[in-house]
Structure 1
Amino acid sequence: MLINPLLASVETPPVALVQSWVKERDFPDGRPLLDLAQAAPGWPMAAPLVAHITEAIQKPETARYAPILGEQPLRQALADEMTALYGGTIQAENVAITSGCNQAYVAAIMALAKEGDAVMLPTPWYFNHKMTLDMFGIKAIPLPCAADAGMLPDVAAAEKLITPRTRAIVLVTPNNPTGAIYPSSLIQQFVALAKAHNIKLIIDETYRDFIPAGGAPHDAFKADTWADTVIQLYSFSKAYAMPGLRVGAVTAGADVIGLVQKALDSIAICANGAGQAAALYGIRSLGEWRNGKRQEMALRLAAFQQAMKPIANQFPIVSAGAFFAYCRHPFELSALEAAKRLADEGAIMAMPGSAFGPGQEQMLRFAFGNLAPEAAAAIGERLAALAR
Structure 2
Amino acid sequence: MNISKHVEAMPASGIRAMFDLAAKYDDVVSFCIGEPDFETPQNVIEAGKFALENGYTKYVPNSGIPELREAIAEKMRRENGIDVKAENVMINNGACQSLMSAMQVIMDAGDEIILPDPCFPNYIGQIMLVGAKAVMVGCLEENAFHIKAEDIEKAITPRTKAIVLNSPCNPTGAVLSESELKEIAEVVKKHDLIVISDEPYDTIVFDGKTACSIASFPGMFEHTITINSFSKSHAMTGWRVGYAVAPKNVIDAMILIQESLSSSVNAAAQYAAAQALKGQQETTAYMTAEYEKRRNLLVKGLNEIKGISCIVPEGAFYAFVNIKGTGLTSVELATKLIEEAQVVLTPGSAFGDFGEGYIRISYASSEEKLQEGINRMKKVLNK
TM-score (norm 1): 0.93
Q: Which amino acid aligns with 2:279?
A: S
- Aligned match of 1:289: 283
Say whether 1:162 aligns with 2:156. yes
- Aligned match of 2:374: 380
- Indicate if the aligned counterparts of 2:88 and 2:248 stay in contact, CA closer than 8 A: yes
Report how far residue 318 of structure 1 moved.
4.2
Q: Which segment is superposed worse, 253-262 or 16-25?
A: 16-25
- Aligned match of 2:22: 22
Q: Which amino acid aligns with 1:6?
A: H
- Indicate if the aligned counterparts of 2:35 and 2:232 stay in contact, CA closer than 8 A: yes
Q: Which runs of structure 2 are paired with 1:173-322 in the superposition (5 Å)?
A: 173-212=167-206, 217-218=211-212, 220-223=214-217, 225-311=219-305, 313-318=306-311, 320-322=313-315
Q: Deviations over 1:195-244 (max 9, x none)?
A: 11111011111111111256752263444633311111102111111101
- Aligned match of 2:52: 57
Q: Deviations over 1:25-67 (max 9, x none)?
A: 432xxxxx22211100121112232233222222332x22221
Aligned with 1:81 (options 60, 75, 82): 75
Q: Which amino acid aligns with 1:46?
A: P
**Which SS does the other structure have where 1:67 is aligned?**
coil
- Aligned match of 1:356: 351
Report how far residue 338 of structure 1 moved.
2.1
**Which SS does the other structure have where 1:64 is aligned?**
coil
Aligned with 1:121 (options 84, 102, 115): 115
Partner Cα distance (1:200, 1:47) in 2: 38
Q: Deviations over 1:235-294 (max 9, x none)?
A: 211111110111111111111111111232221111112221221111011312211111
- Indicate if the aligned counterparts of 1:45 and 1:242 stay in contact, CA closer than 8 A: yes
**Which SS does the other structure have where 1:208 is aligned?**
coil
**Which SS does the other structure have where 2:355 is aligned?**
coil
Q: Deviations over 1:281-339 (max 9, x none)?
A: 1101131221111111111111111222311x522114523211001224444322322
- Aligned match of 2:12: 12
**Which SS does the other structure have where 1:152 is aligned?**
coil
- Indicate if the aligned counterparts of 2:148 and 2:184 stay in contact, CA closer than 8 A: no
Aligned with 2:95 (options 98, 101, 122): 101
**Which SS does the other structure have where 2:91 is aligned?**
strand
Partner Cα distance (2:137, 2:65) in 1: 37
- Indicate if the aligned counterparts of 1:188 and 1:219 stay in contact, CA closer than 8 A: no
Q: Deviations over 1:157-215 (max 9, x none)?
A: 21111111111011100111100111011112212211111110111111111112567
Q: Which runs of structure 2 are paired with 1:321-336 in the superposition (5 Å)?
A: 321-322=314-315, 323-329=317-323, 330-336=325-331
**Which SS does the other structure have where 1:179 is aligned?**
coil
In structure 2, the gaps of 5 or more residues are: none
Partner Cα distance (1:82, 1:96) in 2: 13
Aligned with 1:37 (options 29, 32, 36): 32
1:252–1:321 CA distance, 2 compared to 1 (3 A):
same
In structure 1, the gaps of 5 or more residues are: 28-32
Q: How large is the Cα RMSD of the aligned pairs?
A: 1.8
Say whether 1:131 aligns with 2:125. yes
Q: Which amino acid aligns with 2:263?
A: I
**Which SS does the other structure have where 1:201 is aligned?**
strand
**Which SS does the other structure have where 1:171 is aligned?**
strand
- Indicate if the aligned counterparts of 2:144 and 2:174 stay in contact, CA closer than 8 A: yes
Partner Cα distance (2:98, 2:231) in 1: 12
1:241–1:224 CA distance, 2 compared to 1 (3 A):
same
1:188–1:216 CA distance, 2 compared to 1 (3 A):
same
- Aligned match of 1:30: none
Report how far residue 68 of structure 1 moved.
0.9
Q: Which runs of structure 2 are paired with 1:62-73 in the superposition (5 Å)?
A: 63-73=57-67
- Indicate if the aligned counterparts of 1:116 and 1:137 stay in contact, CA closer than 8 A: yes
- Indicate if the aligned counterparts of 2:117 and 2:139 stay in contact, CA closer than 8 A: yes
Aligned with 1:338 (options 333, 336, 342): 333
